[in-house]
Amino acid sequence: MTDEVTISARNVVKAFGQGNAAVRALDDVSLDIRKGEFFTLLGPSGCGKTTLLRLIAGFEMPTEGTILLDGADITTLPPNRRPVNTVFQSYALFPHLTVAQNVAFGLQMLGRPAPEVKATTERMLALVKLEAMAGRKTSQLSGGQQQRVALARALAPQPKVLLLDEPLSALDLKLRKEMQVELKRLQTETGITFVFVTHDQEEALTMSDRIGVMSHGKLQQVGAPRDIYTRPVNRFVASFIGETNFLSGVTEGAGVRLPVGAVVPVDSPRAGTVTLAVRPEHVRIVAPGEAGAIPATVTGSVYFGTDMNYQLALADGTEIEACVVSGVTGEGALSKGEQVGLRFTPGAVQVLED
Amino acid sequence: MSPAEEAVRRENIKSAWQLSAPALLVLTVAAVGPLLIVLVYSFLTPGTHGNVEWVFSLEGWRGVLFDHDIFEDKLVLADGNLTIFWRSVKLSFITTVLTFIVGFPTAWFIATRSPASRAGWLFLITIPFWTNLLIRTFAINQIIRNEGVLNTLLLKAGLVSAPLQLTYTDTALLIGMVYVYLPLMVLPLFATIDRFDMRLLEAGYDLYASRWQVLRRVILPIIRPGIVAGSILVFVPCLGAYVTPRILGGGKNMMIGNFIELQFGQGKNWPLGAALSVTLLVIVTIALLVYVKAISGERKNG
């Protein structure tokens, strides 16, 4: 991966409908995707991530803004003239062609000589481990195999960018895990820039070099998975990725004072009312009355095997979730109604913009 | 398969046969029966006032291809008959191609409408069936004749200086046949396009296919069953068309159907008419076999 930019979206707006009834699927999105990276667009359905992908593919034209590929403006270029290929959510394999013919399609349309088409097709089928299926009709394949054909077909013309539109959503859990590893391997082996769209935060965290979190047609935060998880910029990002406790308080001295009176030692960049975000695994349960600990009551618990999740309530009723590693024999387990103290791991508390 | 399952299977087959027996009986009596009569008549001698005399003769069959030259007393190839056969096949083929060229965009248009309006468009396609074929064909004649709607409009618009002579030409015949058989092409095409996954178009464009290539390499191969069905539904009845060439061709430009009718009417040569009918049947069968074989062969290589 380099810092060289492959795809660049500049102030892209995409509106559907006319006049006042128009819906902005994308609202002033600017984004740089680097060469050779695995970039994920993450967000709930309707957030505009698929629209952005379709704009890059050329299936839609932006209402405003431009899209650059390696510095060249491709905003109005039709899909068949962009060196960009897509793996569709439905796979969209050609039912009248065999597996090998599907993979060869793009190369044939590019007018490559027959020996090259044959060689590349074979190489691609080997890459996705489907050599044995070359002569089969796509309808004779399982979902996972169809997925591989779709991948091989899109990779065969060696595009500059591969777009993947929720390609794993139709697979069962086990197959999905396998394909996640597979996709990552293919991306590393081919060195092609992958732009992956998903609503599954776990998928995004495990596979991506960088993630762009989207909501309501806007890009909320772009960064490495670790940055997104540990330093979410706003409430949406913090709540969409992983579990988070939100606490509102008022900046006071070297911390933020909670309504229950306790002061959380955190470096707040803003005065007045702020929102604190703290992950359940950074909430530590200590003995009640310990100096600086926030008093709380246990209201419930869920056992997850390695972890134990406790639901707690502060004196003013604010709910907090804590995640602790279960003991060997479950010793020290807390029961409902027990009085405890809470501490937050130093440096793990985020002060959010809103 | 266990004996019990085998018994059940046999029982099912038996009841299926019993259920379809009435339909099979009607089909056998109504289709095979007349066909046999026609076949038998083709080997008999013509009666003086039509009908047949029960004397075996190959004259009818000889008349399909040969004329008896009364001056030199020898058989010569019947150019007239061959011309009529050739014309029929040619016009039917052109009609099939034209109905496809007009019918494909129509079917595509209907199949890509919203489900609610689709029913309306299909309804419009079936409207011509409400009127008798004879009346519709006369209506076409009214439109294309020298003082008809078409020529009046063309003259008024200044596109032509003299009325186009369309009546009693092959063009008139083609216009009529395309009009009559168009729904039979549109409906099967619609049925297959309706099941066509439009996302494949995007996949095609994405993989560098031009619009033309998407049409040729993706759409047409996938909707091929509809094209085959539509072509058969148009080509076969076209070949035996009677009313349309009779009215729009003016009896001058005959097709096989009219020629056969002539033998049973004025010609008073029933065996020849019967032999021609059987010949038409053979042509249709051969044409279908060649067509289906070509299509499936192409699929194998495609």
Tokens coding B246: 């009779």
What total number of domains does chain A contain? Answer: 2
One domain for residues A16 and A153: yes
Listed by start position, the domains of chain B span 78-301
- The nearest CA of chain A is from the CA of B223 a distance in Å of 10
Q: Which of B205, B209, B210 is nearest to A57 (CA)?
A: B205
Distance from C-alpha of A308 to C-alpha of A243, rounded to nearest angstrom: 14
Q: Which of A262, A261, A266 is nearest to A276 (CA)?
A: A266
For A25-29, A108-112, A118-122, B287-291, which range has the lowest pLDDT when averaged over its residues?
B287-291
Query: Mean pLDDT throughout A193-208?
Result: 93
Asked if pLDDT for residue A99 goes beyond 90, the answer is yes
φ, ψ dihedrals at A31, nearest 5°? -155, 140
Query: Mean pLDDT throughout A184-195?
Result: 92
pLDDT digits (tens, 9 = 90+) for A229-263: 988 988 999 989 988 999 988 888 788 888 888 88
Q: CB within 8 A of B157, min separation 6: which ones?
A: none
One domain for residues A229 and A267: no
Query: Mean pLDDT throughout A295-316?
Result: 88
Query: Mean pLDDT throughout B171-176?
Result: 91
Which chain A positions have a beta carbon within 8 Å of B302's beta carbon? Answer: 96-97
One domain for residues A295 and A337: yes
Q: Look up the CATH number of the domain holding residue A301.
A: 2.40.50.140
One domain for residues A45 and A192: yes
With CB atoms and an 8 Å threshold, state whether B206 touches A90: no
Question: Which residues span the domain enclosing A113?
Answer: 5-236
Asked if pLDDT for residue B196 goes beyond 80, the answer is yes
Would an 8 Å CB–CB cutoff place A110 in contact with chain B? yes
Model pLDDT, residue B266: 86
Model pLDDT, residue B301: 46
Asked if pLDDT for residue B295 goes beyond 80, the answer is no
With CB atoms and an 8 Å threshold, state whether A79 touches B222: no
With CB atoms and an 8 Å threshold, state whether B208 touches A94: no
φ, ψ dihedrals at A182, nearest 5°? -60, -45
Query: Mean pLDDT throughout B48-74?
Result: 81
- The nearest CA of chain A is from the CA of B229 a distance in Å of 18
One domain for residues A212 and A296: no
Distance from C-alpha of A277 to C-alpha of A292, rounded to nearest angstrom: 19
Q: Do A48 and A29 meet the contact criterion of CB atoms below 8 Å apart?
A: yes
One domain for residues A232 and A247: no
Chain A, residues 58-77, CB within 8 A of chain B, namely 58-59
One domain for residues A37 and A105: yes
* Strand duo A64-69 + A5-16: pairing: antiparallel
> Nearest CB to A78: which of B205, B207, B217?
B205
Coarse DSSP helix, strand, coil percentages of chain A, rounded to the nearest 5 percent: 30, 35, 35
Of A178, A204, A236, the one marking the end of a domain is: A236
Model pLDDT, residue A331: 59
Distance from C-alpha of B23 to C-alpha of A137, rounded to nearest angstrom: 38
Would an 8 Å CB–CB cutoff place B218 in contact with chain A? yes
- The nearest CA of chain A is from the CA of B299 a distance in Å of 9
Q: Look up the CATH number of the domain holding residue A57.
A: 3.40.50.300
Tokens coding A48: 């505009």
pLDDT digits (tens, 9 = 90+) for A1-31: 557 899 999 999 999 988 777 888 999 999 9
Model pLDDT, residue B298: 56
- Let me know if B24 is exposed, middle or buried by CB neighbors in 10 A (0-12, 13-18, 19+): exposed
Of the options 1.25.40.10, 1.10.3720.10, 1.10.1740.10, 3.65.10.10, the CATH number for the domain spanning B78-301: 1.10.3720.10
Model pLDDT, residue A306: 81
Distance from C-alpha of B281 to C-alpha of B285, rounded to nearest angstrom: 6
Model pLDDT, residue B128: 85
CB atoms within 10 A of CB B6: 10
Of A206, A236, A266, the one marking the end of a domain is: A236
Alpha carbon separation from B217 to A248, B23, B112, B205, B211 (Å, rounded): 61, 41, 20, 11, 10
Asked if pLDDT for residue B37 goes beyond 80, the answer is yes
Model pLDDT, residue A328: 62
The fraction of chain A above a pLDDT of 90, given in percent, is 59
Model pLDDT, residue A297: 92
Of A236, A261, A296, the one marking the end of a domain is: A236
Residue of chain A nearest B299, judged by CA positions: A96
Which DSSP state fits B151?
H
Would an 8 Å CB–CB cutoff place A86 in contact with chain B? yes
> Nearest CB to B203: which of A58, A84, A88?
A88
pLDDT digits (tens, 9 = 90+) for A60-76: 999 999 999 999 999 99
